[in-house]
Amino acid sequence: MNPPAWAQFVLWAVAGENQAEFVAGDLHEEFLLLCAERGPSAGSRWYARQVLRSAAALVGLRFRSGEAAHLAAAALVAVAMPLVLLDRLWSFVYSHIPLKDGLARAPGFLVANVVCVCACAAVCGSLAHTRGRAAGVAVAAAVGAACALWCSTATAPWLYAGLLIVAAPVSSMAVFAWRGWR
């Protein structure tokens, strides 16, 4: 007998690597007792309620332990900030073109953005020591890329936007995996 899979997923997503195992173990133990007393449905409902009501406190714990700071840094400092700065740089370049130009960016500039973001996301991935943390960094990098794209003044093709949002987390996970194989 197992607790609802979605609730377990949410628990591991919010609790972070430092606490998830112990909290999950405690909830599992009490879940089994409740299932024996009141039945699997009641047990599952109790487990889900505990996870949802505990989410805020567990996220707060993550921030205090520094894990959330690493993820936020991965998203903001490593990915979003360079992208925003590059966007401002290209705006500067384009505003200096005599006879002016529009908001569409040359492919070379877009490639430079992707390369830079992949490099920064890879650095963040290299600093993760566990799979859970690496996954968190990858998700944070994708979110950072999406936020920077949203703030961009330029028009960007969908292919570029999709490539950026996918390439950032892939770079991060690839470096983490490569370090594990060495």
Partner 1 sequence: MPKGEALGEFEYLVMLAVLRLGAEAYGMRVRQEISVRTGRDVTIGAVYATLERLADKGLLRASMSQPTPERGGRAKRSFQLTGAGMEAANRARQDLVNMLEGLEFPLPGGTP
Partner 2 sequence: MKWVKRIAIVLAVLLIVPMATLLVLGHRKNAGLSQTSVEISAAPDQVWAWLDDNGRLKQWVSWMVDARDSDPGEPHGIGTKRIWTMKDENNGGAEMEIAGTYSEYAPPSRMTLQIADKDGMFNGETSYRLVDLGGGRTRMEVRLRAHYTEWFANLMEPVITPAAEKKLAMDVGRLKRLVEARAAAR
Site string for partner 2, 32-71 (x = CB under 8 A): --------------------------------------x-
Q: How many residues bind partner 2 (CB under 8 A)?
A: 33
Q: Which of residues 83-102 bind partner 2 (CB under 8 A)?
A: 89-102
Residue 53 in contact with partner 1, rule: CB under 8 A: yes
In the complex, the smallest distance separating the C-beta of residue 70 from partner 2, rounded to whole angstroms, is: 7
Among 22, 63, 130, 153, binds partner 2 (CB under 8 A): 153
Distance between CA 19 and CA 65 in Å, rounded? 10
DSSP string across 51-119: HHHHHHHHHHHHHHHTHHHHHHHIIIIIIIHHHHHHHHHHHHHHHTSTT---SBPPHHHHHHHHHHHHH
Distance between CA 170 and CA 176 in Å, rounded? 10
Q: Are 129 and 110 in contact (CB under 8 A)?
A: no
Looking at beta carbons only, is 53 or 100 nearer to partner 2?
100
**Two tokens, residue 12:** 């591991």
Point out which residues bind partner 2 (CB under 8 A): 70, 73-74, 77-78, 82, 89-103, 106, 108-109, 116, 119-120, 123-124, 126-127, 153-154
